[in-house]
Chains A and B, each alone.
Chain A
Amino acid sequence: QVQLVESGGDVVQPGRSLRLSCAASGFTFNKYGINWVRQAPGKGLEWLAVISYDGSDKYYAGSVKGRFTISRDNSKNTLYLHMNSLRPEDTAVYYCARLNYYGSSGYCDYWGQGTLVTVSS
């Protein structure tokens, strides 16, 4: 079955960096785009970034563009989110979600369980 398992969440000081991972299994990883979505405590969902199946296309939300970088290693079936210059407002649970298509319209069909990032001094 499709599984996405995030890891790497931690407590970090403002201004520091962190790398999250999302290990995929149960499907052909190199045929699917993947998204990162986060949820601050008690808040709603916020889309962060998406990467195409082969890593050639990447899109970012304005709130993280220039600070966060999405990447993938198809040989390891793993997605990454490199986060720099972290701020307290980046505190959230970070989810990876598989991108599927209905025609040309995308949607997130499977989600991981999330990993918690806390930015605090």
Chain B
Amino acid sequence: QSVLTQPPSASGTPGQRVTISCSGSSSNIGSNVVNWYHQVPGTAPKLLIYANNQRPSGVPDRFSGSKSGTSASLAISGLQSDDEADYYCAAWDDSLNGRVFGGGTKLTVL
């Protein structure tokens, strides 16, 4: 059972916009920033969004992040087949004194 809660799956068709949610509590998302990672199975995770809504260089602006209260969301617009991957949210947890991840969301492009 992950500290941060994500839907296990999400899907969309090419060109569509999809969102992935990440729910936490006051000790993690409620008081710290959220980062997002994506991972193609069999490869290492890669940073997608940091500090709630910042994109590293090289990440297209089709990807955006937001946070409100104890929840965060990742939005992907103009969905492409290459976007098929597992997506994870993460945040520092002040009560656990450690970093916590969501359980991951498998995105399928139909």
Closest beta carbon of chain B to A64's beta carbon, Å: 10
A50 interface residue (CB < 8 Å to B): yes
A47 to B43, CA, bound (A): 17
A87 CB to nearest B CB, Å: 18
Chain B at the A interface: SS class:
strand
A26 adjacent to chain B (CB < 8 Å) = no
Task: Classify chain A: how many residues form its interface, as a range.
Answer: 20 to 34
- Quick one: which of A1-50 are within 8 Å of B by CB? 35, 37, 44-47, 50
Residues of A within 8 A of B88 (CB): 44-45
| Bound Cα distance from A106 to B33, whole angstroms | 8
Give the chain B neighbours of A85 by CB distance below 8 A. none
Q: Which residues of A are in contact with B by a Cβ distance under 8 Å?
A: 35, 37, 44-47, 50, 59-62, 95, 97, 100, 102-103, 105-114
Q: A45-B101, A106-B99, A107-B47 are in contact. List 19 more A-B contacts (CB 8 A).
A: A44-B88, A44-B101, A44-B103, A44-B104, A45-B37, A45-B88, A47-B90, A47-B98, A47-B99, A47-B101, A60-B98, A95-B44, A100-B50, A105-B32, A105-B92, A107-B50, A109-B47, A111-B45, A112-B44
